[in-house]
Amino acid sequence: MPSKRTALNEPGYGEDLRGIGRLTIDAITGVTDLVESVHATIAALPGPLAAPVRDPTRGITGQVYRSVRGITRFVGDALDLAFAQVAPLLDRIDSLPQRDATISALNGVLGDHLAATDNPLAIDMRLRSDGRPLRLGRKALNAALPHATGKIVVLAHGLCMNDRQWLWDGHDHGAALAQDDGWTPVYLRYNSGRHISVNGRDFSARLERLLREWPVPVERLAIVCHSMGGLVARSACHAAAHAHHRWLDSLDTLVFLGTPHQGAPLERAGSWFDMLIQLSPYTAPFARLGKIRSAGIQDLRHGNLLDSDWRPYAGGKRSERRRADADARADTRTPVPLPDGVRCYAIAVSTDKHAASSAQANAVDSPSGDGLVPVASALGHHRDPAFDLRIPKSRQWVGYGLHHLDLLGDAQVYAHLRRWLKRAGTDR
């Protein structure tokens, strides 16, 4: 039964129950598939380095596995129907930040699966203000933002996070910019488990309508991005250029906070695990556990921005599958430069408290990143000139003794952000 959502009524606790029920059934079915695959491999007795056994079990054994799947789906349908009856009652409860954080983290890990199965837990992309979704119409925006100015700053969160988490350690970059310099903050919430290129296209479409319906004349547009949000914003700029969206003409500033422009090593380590575990037919069935990482997480391996960066080769032949797997581990991206005419800034941080004196002269040589993103990747540096973003040093800053999430609330980060936005405005 498909979930029922409107533009403003997002899923609540009742829909959460339905979503968790569906996810549980999916998990049981997946474990059944895993057990059957191991069973089939042992029964076939292949050589230690032979190709994985892909045929399912047969006869009575196969019938048993099919029965388990059938019963599981039957129970799942019954649970879904029961939860649908109580959902309207539970959904009257206001959503809490803790609930939002949990759902956002789940979407980061499994968001592509949730969206593909129409699970109520899947997050629909929204532009929001003060923790509430915005209806994109001139009258609705005027009612929701009675004090809107012509200076719009859009804030895009990172992997497994949401718009409410820009409030970090008592500080919110968007709220502070509104109070200090008259910006009107608009926050993006999106399913960070989907492919970055898919989110980028949707983001571009929503920005196009936002600026078209904005209740006062638009003077400036800036986007502030944390982590994955920077890749989504860059992908949106590319999509806007190809779709001839007009919002890109209004964009004057992009600020990246810890964005993995050239990828994240932890995801690349996960891809090597996938490759090693598939070497033997006896361990290959367990590779599907490693692939539980969402499409969004896998895009972070190299910093994919386009569909062509992640789309596998078509076909079912073994040689084609191996070629697709090899390309997933290799960096086969198409270079995407920063948008023309937009002032771009980058902040990277390092957990090394003692590196400032020795590494300040050459931030790329900083011995550590922020725990997730290397300094060089956050600054857009790459050995291949085609991929190097060439952000001028005057538009870079490296902080030391800070972690990835400190980018959301650190006073030095905000000071640079505020100064850069002011500078971009005076240079127009």
What's the CA gap between 93 and 100, in Å, rounded? Answer: 13
Do 87 and 1 form a contact (C-beta atoms < 8 A)? no
Query: Which of the 8 DSSP states describes residue 73?
Result: H
pLDDT tens digits for range 13-33: 545 555 555 555 454 444 444
Torsion of CA 93, 95, 99, 100, to 10 degrees: 160
What's the CA gap between 348 and 415, in Å, rounded? Answer: 14
**Which tokens is 258 given?**
């810890």
What's the CA gap between 97 and 92, in Å, rounded? Answer: 16
pLDDT tens digits for range 199-213: 999 999 999 999 999
Spell out the CATH class of 126-263+334-426: alpha beta
Q: Would you kindly state where each structural domain of the chain is located, as residue ranges?
A: 13-102, 126-263+334-426
Banded pLDDT at 110 (limits 50, 70, 90): confident
The H or E element spanning position 132 is strand 132-133
Q: Which residue has the tokens 């069973």?
A: 39
Question: Which pLDDT does position 333 carry in this prediction?
Answer: 92
**pLDDT tops 60 at residue 258:** yes
**Which tokens is 427 given?**
């240079």
**Which tokens is 293 given?**
């990482």
- pTM here is 0.76
**Which tokens is 373 given?**
């993103």
pLDDT tens digits for range 118-164: 877 789 999 999 999 999 999 999 999 999 999 999 999 999 899 99
Per cent of the chain over pLDDT 70 is 62
What's the CA gap between 271 and 291, in Å, rounded? Answer: 9
Do 377 and 369 form a contact (C-beta atoms < 8 A)? yes
Do 88 and 18 form a contact (C-beta atoms < 8 A)? no
What's the CA gap between 149 and 170, in Å, rounded? Answer: 24
**Which tokens is 208 given?**
């196009």
Question: Which pLDDT does position 372 carry in this prediction?
Answer: 87
**Which tokens is 413 given?**
């980060």
Give 270 or 381, the one with higher predicted confidence: 381
Q: What is the DSSP pairing of strand 251-257 with strand 343-350?
A: parallel
Which residues pair with residue 347 across a beta bridge?
A: 257, 397
Q: Which residue has the tokens 């982590």?
A: 227
Which residues fall within 8 angstroms of residue 113, CB to CB, at 6 or more apart? 26, 119, 193, 294
> Which residue, among 108, 145, 128, has the nearest Cα to 299 in the 3D structure?
108
